[in-house]
Structure 1
Amino acid sequence: MRLVVQVKLLPTPQEASALEATLRACNRAATYASRVAFTQGLKERNGLQKQVYRELKATFGLSAQPAVRAVKKVVDAYAALKAKLQSGNLGRPTSRRYRKAVGSPISFRPEAAQPFDDRCLSWQYDARTVSIWTVDGRMRGVRFACSADHLKTLVQYRKGESDLICRGGKWYLIATCDLPDPEVYEPVDWIGVDRGIVNLATTSNGTNYQGRRLGRYRRWQARKRAELQAKQTPSATRRLARRAQKEKRHANHVNHKISKEIVSVAQRTGRGIAVEALGGIRERVRLRRDQRDTLSSWPFHQLGQHLAYKAKKAGVPFLEVDSAYTSQRCPRCGHTERANRPDRDHFRCRRCGLAGPADHVAGVNVRDRARSAWVFVTAPAPSP
């Protein structure tokens, strides 16, 4: 499995200035290559490299390998855009988002992340330093800091490119690590996880992770954002950017804690984890205007991602099952009706009378569907 490890660089002021100049030069070069790719229809790496390679070196001051990395960065960006268009993430071809995405070349922010391969970047793990190419020449002995666990992972499994990023005036390297996949055990049962807004996650065990505190926190942040936006000053704009990152980190931390606990329980009891497949929920669900911001900004997908990769790392079976009617179906008799859920919090079957918390019932239905799905996943293929 592939994981990323983030380490913090500790450059001197002179080194930080060289890193900033390098990022800006690389992104100016990538933006230029992107315009050429867009106007001439060159989305293939070799063709684009032949067209812009000399220009990237002569005009933007890049060496040979950084110029190649800039071209690959552009090609990867257009490949990612194509995948988004094909999957429908940008809406229909007639939508405004779709037309805006295909109507102009991709541009790169001056401080966007820049990939470095082993020819441009080398690691000295014992000294906790890196040697990195810059537009001012090779810079050696740049210190970095990370935890002991991250350092161990880097030493054993780092492979491929590392991205240089600047966030809030601080410098980081994002290193790719290729870990061996642990063997997935045969589950004795499943833990169904229902995700929501009022309750971030509710398991079939009855464990409830409430979103009340996170909801209050996000509403408070929204009020502060509105106050800062009303000022319309440069200082307010800078504080808005810092506040947005702080809110994002907080939600990420909450999702990490929830997913870590669920995976730990599953691993300890020999069970698997099942969640609802919520892809395309924005297109399927119709909401009132006052609900749209809450649904769009809530970290549903992130919690599912955390559960998936933590389960894979621990060797815990993980499944996504159909989400249709999980909160309206009775897990005892199978009766499915909207009236089974008279309000958001309660479930009562109109046929057999089974009653309980609605999110817990949904988690039980997710668990039951995982039991059925796992039979088909592990069933041997029919002989020809």
Structure 2
Amino acid sequence: MQTVVTAKLKLNTTPEQFKALRTTQLAYRDSLNYVSQYAFAHGKMSNAVRLQDATYEEIRLRFHLPSQMACSVPRQVGASYKTLWTKVKNNAVHRKEGKTKKRYKGLDKAPKFISPTLTYQYKKDYTFKKEQQVSILTLEGRVIVPYTGYNKHVALIQRGAEIGASKLWYDKAKKQFYLLVSLEVEMADPPPETHKQVVGVDVGMRYLAVTATMQGNCTFHADISTVAKSHHSARLRKRLQKKGTRSATRRLVAISGRERRLKANVNHVVSKRIVLQHPQSLIGLEHLTDIREQTKRRKGKSAKQRKANRAFSKWSFAELHSMIAYKALLHRSTAIKVDANYTSQACPKCGHTCKENRPHKGLLFLCQNCQYTLHADLVGARNIAMRTLLIRQDWRGTGLLSVRPDVSDDEAKAARLKRYAELRWSSDTTPSPRL
């Protein structure tokens, strides 16, 4: 099994090397905008091959980019246009079905590339040297720059991990260049016998994650500060955008990305804590594809509904899931996805499932059949743990493990949910309700 790790390497450049890298970055960005304008003027073209045939010579002559970079630019622009076309088509379908009345305007004008981050291809644009040095291509030729980074990532590079493309990123505040390198690490597939326990992880808005094991242990991971700071950032951006002065614009630039970095750091901390608390485990995660579309409030445009939609749009559960998945492999654990249907509405003791089991959609779970009472998020984590245990038993019997449920086959999904409804939690391991 392979997992992708991004190594962040700090480049210790001289003033001459710094100038060469910055000039290359800006030329790359200008070429992206040139190709974007060309694609828009010629029918909003997204075919990378046709874009390269039409713009390659002009990129080389006008922006003096090396050949490989001149090939990377049309591919990046073509990929951006393909993404925008996908959004346009999806929006047309949703408008036809009555899910939305808004028309997607992403292709009303040519996309503009603002970030000067450029892409390097391994062994063509950059290579690693001995003594923690990297050779990077610029407009003036190659420069050899020493680098530093996380010890484990540096060790992976030196031990011959499969290295992919990288991005040259410039931290404007610190005036520092970083090379973000993609590493593919080959991990041995652990047999089911190596997993000491089964863990269910329920993610949510009130609690970032709640874990439960089959032995009755549970952990609540909460960080209320991210929610409060998210609302504060939204109010601050609204005031600054409404003001519209040059100082307000400078302030918006200064705070851009701060909320994103805060959430990423919290997700790193929570995912690392979960993996270290449960080494050599089979970790079950909810399959939450399209969860935002399913939970979006569409009726009316009240301030409360807009605030709820804004909160759900900033829910970074996918990032937390991905961090748990790759950190688990590094600690001899395995993360899999299970069906998320009715995990917070099904009683783990008697199996009774209904919306009324969660009064007012709050934190209290109260079974209408057996009066079983517990924290609603902990109920979800336990249901996930039991479903993960069932997958582990099937893995032992068949020798095959599916890390993601097949949701395209309705009959197969119905059969899985029927099996899940037969699962029961032992009352001997149930703690008192925690609200």
Q: What TM-score bracket applies, with the shorter chain setting the length? A: 0.7 to 0.9
- For 1:154, the equivalent position in structure 2 comes to 157
Deviation, 1:246, is 2.5
CA RMSD of aligned residues (A): 3.0
Which residue type is aligned with residue 94 of structure 2? R
CA deviations over 1:145-184 (Å, ceiling 9, x no partner) = 3232222122231523221122324321111212112323
Deviation, 1:16, is 2.7
* Bigger mean CA offset, 238-247 vs 221-230: 221-230
Q: Distance in 1 between matches of 2:157 and 2:93?
A: 39
- For 1:142, the equivalent position in structure 2 comes to 145
Which residue type is aligned with residue 191 of structure 1? V
Structure 1 residue 280 corresponds to structure 2 residue 283:
no
Alignment of 1:18-29 (within 5 A): 18-29=20-31
Structure 1 residue 54 corresponds to structure 2 residue 62:
no
Which residue type is aligned with residue 170 of structure 2? C
Could you tell me whether the CA contact under 8 Å between 2:17 and 2:143 is conserved in 1?
no
Deviation, 1:144, is 2.6
Which residue type is aligned with residue 113 of structure 1? L
* Bigger mean CA offset, 255-264 vs 112-121: 112-121
SS of the aligned residue for 1:118 comes to coil
- For 2:19, the equivalent position in structure 1 comes to 17
Could you tell me whether the CA contact under 8 Å between 2:88 and 2:104 is conserved in 1?
no
Structure 1 residue 173 corresponds to structure 2 residue 179:
yes
Q: Distance in 2 between matches of 1:43 and 1:221?
A: 35
SS of the aligned residue for 1:100 comes to coil
Deviation, 1:68, is 1.9
Which residue type is aligned with residue 117 of structure 1? Y
The verdict on how the C-alpha distance between 1:363 and 1:171 changes in structure 2, with shifts beyond 3 A counting, is same
* Bigger mean CA offset, 231-240 vs 325-334: 231-240
Could you tell me whether the CA contact under 8 Å between 2:120 and 2:126 is conserved in 1?
no
Q: Distance in 1 between matches of 2:317 and 2:329?
A: 19
Could you tell me whether the CA contact under 8 Å between 1:4 and 1:177 is conserved in 2?
yes
Alignment of 1:94-105 (within 5 A): 99-105=104-110
* Bigger mean CA offset, 6-15 vs 31-40: 31-40
Alignment of 1:198-217 (within 5 A): 198-204=206-212, 205-217=217-229
Q: Distance in 2 between matches of 1:212 and 1:73?
A: 38
Deviation, 1:243, is 2.3
- TM-score, length basis structure 2: 0.77
The verdict on how the C-alpha distance between 1:97 and 1:189 changes in structure 2, with shifts beyond 3 A counting, is farther
Structure 1 residue 113 corresponds to structure 2 residue 131:
no
Q: Distance in 1 between matches of 2:30 and 2:341?
A: 47
Could you tell me whether the CA contact under 8 Å between 1:275 and 1:320 is conserved in 2?
yes
Could you tell me whether the CA contact under 8 Å between 2:47 and 2:78 is conserved in 1?
yes
Q: Distance in 1 between matches of 2:135 and 2:114?
A: 24
The verdict on how the C-alpha distance between 1:244 and 1:110 changes in structure 2, with shifts beyond 3 A counting, is closer
CA deviations over 1:71-119 (Å, ceiling 9, x no partner) = 3333443455566678x59973766887434555544225133334323
Structure 1 residue 237 corresponds to structure 2 residue 240:
no
* Bigger mean CA offset, 32-41 vs 157-166: 32-41
- For 1:365, the equivalent position in structure 2 comes to 383
Alignment of 1:15-94 (within 5 A): 15-37=17-39, 39=42, 43-81=46-84, 92=94
**What is the number of residues matched between the two proteins?**
377
Could you tell me whether the CA contact under 8 Å between 2:135 and 2:143 is conserved in 1?
yes
SS of the aligned residue for 1:21 comes to helix
- For 2:352, the equivalent position in structure 1 comes to 335
- For 1:290, the equivalent position in structure 2 comes to 307
Could you tell me whether the CA contact under 8 Å between 2:7 and 2:149 is conserved in 1?
no
The verdict on how the C-alpha distance between 1:98 and 1:144 changes in structure 2, with shifts beyond 3 A counting, is farther
Percent identity over the alignment is 28
Alignment of 1:218-257 (within 5 A): 218-226=230-238, 228-229=240-241, 231-257=243-269
Could you tell me whether the CA contact under 8 Å between 2:28 and 2:118 is conserved in 1?
no
Which residue type is aligned with residue 305 of structure 1? S
